[in-house]
Structure 1
Amino acid sequence: MSSAAATSLENLHSGLQPLHHLRPEKARLSASLQFVLRQTATRSVEIWHKLSRKTQILLVALSMTFSSFSLSMIVAALSR
């Protein structure tokens, strides 16, 4: 995972409401979601670093292609 993606995940985590401002059941849910997000991010970084450089480049290229295609579809839908 790139440092930008890791920073983005960290910003998302730090932007979540403090738990003491939430009702107890929402606080538990929020804590659980934060734990899962942190665990998923950690695992993703571990997997990313195990991939070869060529595979990383391929995955980034595919991701950019799909993002570009999605954006063009959104623009086409909005311009109707």
Structure 2
Amino acid sequence: MMALIGVLLLASISGAVIWKRNGDKLLFRERGWALVILTIGTLLIIARLFHLPIPNPTDAIKALTGPIYRPIIAWIEEDTLKR
């Protein structure tokens, strides 16, 4: 529980620094993206603290490209078996 409080406290402090630094220079888009990335990172750290399953990025890529490469691999294997 202390680790969760520490993560949230550090994320809040980092967010405040990002908000203040980029707000003074009128860098609204940079401030927004930095806070989005900080939020995603904080959520990933919290998920690891609670031992939640975090999907592997390569599994997502494999799921997206699976329908494309499976027929190609079957076609190549079929072609090599004919030779």
TM range (shorter): 0.3 to 0.5
Flag the structure with larger Rg. Answer: 2
TM-score by length of 2: 0.46
TM-score by length of 1: 0.47
